[in-house]
């Protein structure tokens, strides 16, 4: 199978179609999909055998069948017109054979037509062939035989049944549907067999465009200016620049000239041409001067058959030509060279070989403005990443999954230490990361998009619930595209009209949900329908998620070992931590021994392929039997209705090392039925030649993920080895079972709680937000400055500037805006009496507050630490005073009066879990202090004060029951038990609470029942 490769850095100066040469002679790497040299893999003996057998079969069916009929039976129809008496004759065996012969002749004619259609499509590279009426099975057989015959001499493409609806092409038979409101991205268009000259066609295309660049750019000077009006669709046929160039310029590869002449010019509907694949009916295209082709090429002064309105539109459009030429002229000769390479030429550059490509969403839609602004702002920040790893900054779904899993792990560690044995890390923060781990944590905070993950998950579950209500099965989804907040699902085959608020996409194999509609979804109790979706990369600001469990076979990945490992690590990490899966098993073979801490319940590691084959053979048999016993045809039908949440979790196998030829065959046999069973295989290969691979991809040294025959060229999502180690370090440090190396109960920042340690600036965060020691800033800046100070106070170890800006502006912000805010913040905080600024920058570039800027949370931590581990240990009076002072500081939840829509970064913080534990520890310690002297009422008062901030802490309720029991008032104890039962709701009291009540008040159940 042909594979497209990107030249390495050592050969980047060579003359390849993967690079473009500017006017100065320098070589620049193109941004968009660029034609690459095509390498034809060597054919095996099996390929030649299949081709020979296909030739024999075709010869027998096309020549042998009619020859046998002609020689053995003869012509079955009568020589002349039969009379009416013919209808009254007896039906003999000879008559029956003649009728049967006619049927066979008709079937032969239909099959011959199918072979001709398939052969023409394969040799001409026109993409998906036309359908012969009523010839479904016959055309499928013809397609397979033609594919096998051409396998040894052509650029073979995928002939897998069902893939024809995977995408859309730019050929003569299957065009991208461009609706007036949107253009949806495609995935992998089915590609038919092409002639072996595809590589030469691609090279010719690049050289042709470069020749136009060298000749001085636009060809419009070769003759009079002409215009063409994009025609409305007819049936499934839609106009495209490729076909316009083919008809009127004689070469479809010259579509880039049309694109360059019309790029960014205002169309009659007010929108602009930004992608060669995104054109709309009614748009006007200026044509090169040598365009020919009848009255379809319209000139504003010579269009008598065109309505006056259209003439006016063409005339108005002509007035924008100079502006367009000026914009293009700024690029000089290199502008067309870039077009040849694909940097500016849109998405259809490889059409000379019949290849099909994906398109990207229309950026002109008003609903996308917010997302587009976010992308622009993010791009503005990307130039100054301050050393943070870009791999995580540009992977919002992966970063959100890792950040959420890390937060859950840290909370689990806190709760386990708080409710476990005495001491440990109760109420304290997790260890502060340093070095690479700190950079990775900051990158996660900046890059994560938890809101996007939430909407994505709700949208998929909402779709599953809607289909279940209509008693419809889940459609097979090969991929999902996230484009500026909108979700596009690419189906394996048409599945009818989608349920509201989903809409039909560009054709029947696309379902689309706008972000505004997704925001109306609420949480539903239904199984995750597509847990195998995983991010592969981006194309033109659209993010692709491939559904690994739905691929009809193995997905292979070739490239250098280090590059493959980075892709495998990214896929494994996202699958292990994503927010749109309920349960799954991820089996890692040949890599990833250290990734288990990310999700011990999901990830397992096997040493070799032999162990994998043994495991998967058993699981494949088990799943087939389970599906058959349940009466389901696939796991998708098992994820809706009564069977959901049971046995249909996916199993995704990631095999990094190339298996042997024998093992590859066994894997291919297992994967043949895997998509129906919910099992997916991603297998690495060094050569790009893997038996049984349904879809082939390649990762280049430049970070491009290529699948030429599937029409993909993505900016790959990767997790390189250094970032992988740092991520794992964060999870290992947060492991609740891990022993802490140092004094984990020591707060990261202690303040002087004596009278001499009075701070210059004091912020009250525990309860309503209040700042003492600073004047209020200007009204319009006050909210941002207060929020920035709160973030800095909660991170005394320092805050990266990009973390601060992403917290304040989740949609992104430019460097100058961020810099202006930091300047105002420094000015607002001022300096200490000795001239030291209260906001400084440490050696790593992180923002640090001076010790004279203190919060009540810092004081609370310091008081509790001093009472339990400092001076309070040796002095009972000091301990009681410190604990009392600490509990007085607690006025409610953290930042209780924060405005709605702000402080969303708190969802990433562990302080919301830490503060209640710290308050509970303080209340319990003060309760124990009073109970030592049998002061039950004082103990109850301390516990009630702590419960106002930590009402869910079971330890406080237990001590409150004991302290109330110590008063000797059984009615009061019964009332407290009744209150506890009311708070517990339908779940009832926890077992330990019931056991304690049985001990303190054996008759509590009867007393509560009597009280009603």
Per-residue pLDDT reduced to its tens digit, 480-496? 999 888 999 999 888 88
pLDDT band of residue 10 (cuts 50, 70, 90) is very low
d(CA 188, CA 164): 9
- The confidence score (pLDDT) of residue 740 equals 55
**pLDDT > 90? residue 695:** no
pLDDT band of residue 936 (cuts 50, 70, 90) is very high
d(CA 78, CA 916): 97
Q: At what angle do helices 435-447 and 721-733 cross, to 10 degrees?
A: 90
DSSP 660: P
pLDDT band of residue 23 (cuts 50, 70, 90) is very low
Nearest C-alpha neighbor of 358 from the set 526, 515, 183, 519: 183
- The confidence score (pLDDT) of residue 179 equals 33
DSSP 336: H
Mean pLDDT of the chain: 75
Nearest C-alpha neighbor of 678 from the set 606, 607, 582: 582
| The two three-digit tokens of residue 509, written as one number | 């194999």
More confident of the two residues 10 and 411: 411
**pLDDT > 90? residue 927:** yes
Are 375 and 878 contacting, i.e. CB atoms less than 8 angstroms apart?
A: no
d(CA 619, CA 613): 10
Mind giving me the DSSP string for 226-260?
Answer: EEEEPPPPBTTB---HHHHHHHHTS-GGGHHHHHH
| The two three-digit tokens of residue 912, written as one number | 């919301």
* Intra-chain end-to-end CA distance of the chain, in Å: 78
pLDDT band of residue 631 (cuts 50, 70, 90) is confident
pLDDT band of residue 173 (cuts 50, 70, 90) is very low
pLDDT band of residue 849 (cuts 50, 70, 90) is very high
pLDDT band of residue 243 (cuts 50, 70, 90) is confident
How many CB atoms within 10 Å of residue 967?
Answer: 13
- The confidence score (pLDDT) of residue 131 equals 65
* 684 beta partners: 557
Share of residues in the chain with pLDDT > 70 (%): 72
Share of residues in the chain with pLDDT > 90 (%): 25
| The two three-digit tokens of residue 576, written as one number | 């292990």
**pLDDT > 50? residue 497:** yes
**pLDDT > 80? residue 349:** no
Burial 660-692 (b: 16+ CB within 10 A, else e): eeebbebbbebbeebbbbbbbbbbbbeebbbbb
Q: What is the pTM (predicted TM-score) of this model?
A: 0.64
**Bridging pattern class, strands 712-716 and 533-539:** antiparallel
Residue 354, CB-side half-sphere exposure with 13 Å CA sphere: 25
Average pLDDT, integer, range 124-150:
67
**pLDDT > 60? residue 193:** no
Nearest C-alpha neighbor of 349 from the set 518, 169, 180: 169
Nearest C-alpha neighbor of 165 from the set 141, 131, 133, 194: 131
> What contacts 192, CB < 8 A, 6 or more positions away?
118, 121, 122, 125, 126, 127, 128, 129, 157, 159, 354
Are 682 and 652 contacting, i.e. CB atoms less than 8 angstroms apart?
A: yes
pLDDT tens-digit profile of 409-457?
Answer: 888 887 777 666 444 444 455 678 888 888 999 999 999 998 899 999 9
Nearest C-alpha neighbor of 126 from the set 302, 354, 282, 438: 354
More confident of the two residues 1 and 753: 753
pLDDT tens-digit profile of 796-805?
Answer: 989 999 999 8
Average pLDDT, integer, range 566-595:
91
Most confident of 163-172, 298-307, 331-340, 523-532: 523-532
- The confidence score (pLDDT) of residue 430 equals 66
More confident of the two residues 716 and 333: 716
| Strand blocks (E) in 770-837 | 770-772
* 27 beta partners: 21
Write the burial class of residue 931 (CB in 10 Å: 0-12 exposed, 13-18 middle, 19+ buried): middle
**pLDDT > 50? residue 26:** no
**pLDDT > 90? residue 233:** no
- The confidence score (pLDDT) of residue 88 equals 59
Are 438 and 387 contacting, i.e. CB atoms less than 8 angstroms apart?
A: no
pLDDT band of residue 829 (cuts 50, 70, 90) is very high
């Amino acid at each position: 199978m042909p594979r497209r490769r990107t030249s390495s850095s050592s050969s980047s100066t060579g003359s390849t179609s993967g690079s473009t040469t500017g006017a100065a002679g320098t070589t620049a790497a193109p941004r968009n999909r660029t034609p690459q040299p095509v390498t034809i893999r060597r054919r095996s003996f099996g390929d030649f055998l299949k081709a020979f057998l296909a030739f024999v079969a075709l010869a027998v069916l096309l020549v042998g069948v009619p020859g046998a009929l002609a020689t053995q039976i003869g012509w079955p129809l009568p020589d002349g017109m039969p009379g009416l008496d013919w209808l009254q004759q007896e039906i003999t065996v000879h008559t029956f054979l003649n009728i049967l012969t006619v049927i066979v002749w008709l079937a032969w004619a239909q099959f011959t037509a199918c072979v001709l259609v398939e052969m023409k499509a394969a040799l001409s590279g026109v993409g998906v062939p036309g359908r012969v009426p009523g010839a479904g099975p016959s055309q499928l057989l013809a397609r397979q035989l033609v594919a096998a015959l051409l396998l040894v001499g052509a650029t073979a493409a995928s002939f897998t049944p069902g893939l024809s609806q995977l995408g859309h092409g730019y050929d003569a038979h299957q065009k991208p549907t461009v609706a007036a409101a949107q253009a949806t991205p495609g995935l992998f268009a089915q590609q038919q067999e092409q002639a072996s000259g595809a590589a030469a066609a691609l090279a010719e295309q690049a050289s042709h465009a470069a020749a136009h660049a060298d000749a001085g750019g636009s060809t419009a000077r070769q003759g009079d200016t002409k215009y063409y009006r994009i025609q409305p669709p007819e049936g499934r046929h839609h106009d495209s620049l490729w076909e316009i160039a083919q008809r009127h310029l004689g070469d479809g590869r010259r579509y880039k000239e049309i694109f360059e002449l019309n790029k960014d010019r205002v169309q009659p509907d007010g929108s602009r041409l930004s992608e060669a694949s995104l054109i709309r009916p009614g748009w006007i295209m200026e044509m090169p001067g040598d365009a020919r082709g009848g009255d379809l090429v319209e000139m504003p002064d010579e269009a008598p058959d065109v309505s006056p309105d259209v003439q006016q539109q063409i005339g108005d459009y002509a007035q924008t030509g100079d502006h367009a030429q000026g914009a293009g002229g700024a690029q000089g000769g290199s502008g067309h060279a870039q077009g040849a390479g694909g940097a500016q030429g849109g998405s259809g550059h490889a059409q000379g070989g019949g290849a099909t490509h994906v398109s990207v969403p229309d950026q002109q839609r008003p609903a996308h403005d917010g997302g587009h602004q976010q992308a622009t702002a993010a791009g503005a920040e990307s130039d100054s990443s301050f050393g943070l790893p870009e791999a995580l900054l540009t992977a919002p779904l992966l970063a959100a999954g890792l950040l959420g899993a890390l937060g859950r792990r840290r909370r689990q560690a806190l709760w386990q230490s708080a409710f476990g044995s005495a001491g440990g890390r109760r109420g304290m923060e997790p260890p502060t990361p340093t070095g690479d781990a700190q950079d990775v944590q900051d990158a996660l905070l900046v890059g994560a998009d938890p809101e996007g993950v939430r909407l994505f998950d709700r949208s998929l579950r909402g779709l599953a619930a809607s289909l279940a209500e209509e008693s419809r099965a889940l459609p097979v989804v090969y991929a999902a595209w996230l484009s500026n907040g909108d979700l596009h699902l690419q189906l394996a085959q048409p599945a009818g009209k989608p349920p509201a608020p989903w809409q039909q996409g560009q054709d029947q194999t696309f379902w689309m949900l706008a972000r505004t509609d997704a925001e109306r979804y609420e949480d539903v109790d239904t199984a995750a329908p597509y847990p195998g979706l995983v991010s592969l990369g981006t194309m033109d600001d659209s993010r692709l998620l491939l559904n690994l469990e739905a691929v009809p076979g193995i997905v292979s990945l070739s490239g250098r070992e280090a590059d493959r490992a980075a892709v495998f690590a990214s896929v494994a990490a996202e699958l292990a931590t994503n927010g749109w899966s309920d349960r799954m098993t991820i089996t890692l073979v040949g890599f990833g021994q250290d990734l288990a801490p990310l999700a011990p319940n999901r990830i397992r590691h096997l040493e070799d392929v032999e162990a994998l084959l043994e495991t998967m053979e058993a699981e494949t048999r088990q799943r087939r039997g389970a599906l058959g016993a349940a009466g389901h045809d696939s796991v998708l039908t098992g994820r809706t209705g009564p069977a959901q949440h049971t046995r249909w979790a996916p199993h995704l196998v990631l095999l990094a090392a190339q298996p042997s030829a024998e093992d590859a065959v066994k894997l291919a046999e297992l994967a043949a039925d895997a998509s129906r069973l919910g099992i997916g295989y991603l297998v690495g290969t060094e050569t790009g030649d893997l038996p049984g691979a349904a879809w082939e991809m390649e990762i280049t040294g430049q970070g491009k993920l290529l699948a030429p025959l599937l029409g993909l060229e993505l900016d790959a999502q990767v997790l390189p080895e250094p970032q992988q180690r740092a991520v794992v370090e964060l999870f290992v440090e947060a492991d609740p079972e891990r022993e802490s190396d140092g004094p984990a109960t020591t707060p990261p920042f202690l303040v002087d709680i004596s009278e001499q340690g009075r701070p210059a600036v004091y912020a009250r965060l525990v309860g309503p937000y209040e700042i003492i020691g600073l004047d209020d800033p200007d009204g319009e800046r006050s909210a941002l400055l207060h929020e920035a100070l709160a973030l800095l106070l909660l991170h005394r170890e320092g805050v990266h500037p990009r973390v601060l800006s992403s917290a304040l502006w989740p949609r992104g912000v430019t460097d100058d805006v961020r810099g202006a805010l930091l300047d105002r913040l420094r000015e607002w905080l001022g300096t200490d009496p000795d001239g030291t600024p209260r906001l400084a920058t440490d050696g790593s570039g992180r923002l640090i507050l001076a010790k004279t800027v203190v919060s009540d949370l810092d004081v609370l931590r310091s008081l509790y630490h001093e009472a339990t581990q400092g001076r309070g240990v040796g002095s009972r009076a000091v301990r009681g005073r410190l604990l009392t002072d600490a509990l007085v500081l607690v006025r409610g939840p953290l930042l209780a009066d924060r405005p709605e829509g702000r402080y969303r970064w708190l969802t990433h913080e562990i302080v919301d879990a830490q503060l209640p534990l710290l308050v509970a520890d303080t209340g319990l310690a003060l309760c124990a202090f009073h109970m030592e002297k049998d002061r039950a009422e004082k103990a109850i008062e301390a516990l009630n004060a702590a419960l106002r901030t930590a009402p869910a802490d079971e330890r406080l309720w237990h001590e409150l029951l004991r302290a109330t029991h110590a008063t000797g008032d059984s009615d009061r104890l019964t009332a407290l038990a009744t209150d506890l039962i009311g708070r517990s709701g339908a779940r009832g009291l926890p077992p330990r609470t019931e056991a304690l009540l049985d001990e303190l008040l054996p008759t509590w159940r009867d007393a509560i029942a009597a009280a009603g």
